[in-house]
Structure 1
Amino acid sequence: MSYDDSIELTFAENWPAEIRAISMPMGIHYLNQQDIFALSSSFETLRNEFNIPKVLDFSLDIEEFISGELEKYPKGIFIKTSYGMFKQNPFAYSPIFSMRDFNSNVRWPDHRIENFLRNRLKFRSPFCISASPWVDIHPGTEFRIFISDRQNLGVSQYHCNQFYKLIHEDLKIIKASLASFSSRLVEVLHMDSVVADVFVHKDADGKCKTTLIELNPFNSLTDPCLFSWVGGGDFDGTFRYVSSDFKKQHVEKAVRYSSDEDPWHLPAEIGRRM
């Protein structure tokens, strides 16, 4: 069978409009059969498994999609599959400005995407890519929100092996934005348990805003960042970030956010989990 709902429902093409409204803008494109085989043909193992004779060209269909997205976002676009980006490809960390860039981005060995393609080919399931406007996201502004049974079990700094001064400088407004966003996300979620990747930034009015990047399944295959899955997990409703000495992490207790109170209280330090 294909993936179960805990994975399939995290794919952007399955998000309800309410979630799309709080996420990065994105165009969704369903690959036709020719383009699924063209993408798969980049992998020698898939060529052998599915009798694909050679590396195939993409169709005009996908070229028109890329062209259309670039018209909307002339400063470049970011492409990923429903299962994620081509993380093993160095070109995936640069904006796409052309079909040539797109080819460089997706025609690269990547075990995760290879396995995803294998699943889609085997079960004849839809394969989607999404295009978003390219945004240079500072790594210190990315966070991971852990939600189980519609309860916020904690928030962690995403790039958790480094200290970021900006987190400490804007700690209160970052926490307030994350708390407010978490409450809204729980309200509109189409699944009870999920891990959400977000980034915090300033909107056009200069106010702090949190925006959804992607959803991940709530299971041990998803990186727990400064939490741990050991023994069922240590998700305790805290906000975790790396302290300035690099050896410890700050942990602050999460409480319900309101406009007149700090959303996390009772700061404490514990030994950092690696």
Structure 2
Amino acid sequence: MQNELLKFLMIYNFWLILFVGIFIAAEKILPARNQSFFTRPLIGQDIFWFTFNTHLFGFIYAFLWNYGPLDIFSNFEAYLRPKLAFLSLANRPFWLQFLILLFVQDFLEWGIHNLLHRVPWLWSFHKLHHSITEMDWIGNYRFHWFEVLVYRSLKYLPLFLLNADYLAILAVAVVATAFGNFNHSNLKISLGPLKYIFNSPKFHIWHHAKIEKPHNFAIVFSFWDYLFRTAHTENRTPEIGFIGMEKYPSSLVERLIYPMLGKSRN
């Protein structure tokens, strides 16, 4: 019985499903805003994005990796790993692997997230995520598949060179998923002074605020934004979305092809 439980704990999808139940229940018990999860606008689309970005996208990524342009990474692996073997975390204690991997991955994702807002072409894909009009945990999965590809590709080599064990990689993925759900959730929770260290619903909702200048790019650690002076909060709930959202399409198919249209970069 104990071995079977350990097997479940070592599967990412176990944690993914567990978090679904936890956050649906938590938002019902301690909501920050009066909104209904199951009847809110475009919930059907968000269920699609949740399913696609957590499962179906893996097939696309595997195809691009094995038969498409991403196979270029295999050449970098063969060349760089022997030369940068000192970066390897293999055989280090689990806690050290976990902490280093978490900090490095989170900083990379903070930087990539920043790029998604600064580069017009990348912003045309990221607009899908900012089309959210009611924040809740499942909004964490409303991403265009190309954006997921950008994240994975830009993170791959730096994280690959760390050569961490599977359990450390899994633990970081679980923590990042938990924080992603938490940050987007409709939860009335205050972190107190820990808000300067960890991301939270109160902090992240201002990233989704319908204002000109983007702020709060944090995924797990909010201190990146305080360190680089991109943090912004106010003691109120902002209108969320993005400027010019009235021109953004609402159908699933149109949202998939929208970034390929020249006008989408305006």
Q: Which has the higher helix share?
A: 2
Instruction: Settle same-fold status: TM greater than 0.5.
Output: no
Give the structure with the larger strand fraction: 1
The interval holding the TM-score normalised by the smaller chain is under 0.3
TM-score between both structures, scaled by the size of structure 1:
0.23
Q: Structure 2 length as normaliser, TM-score? A: 0.24
Q: Which of the pair has the greater relative contact order for Cα pairs under 8 Å at 6+ separation?
A: 2
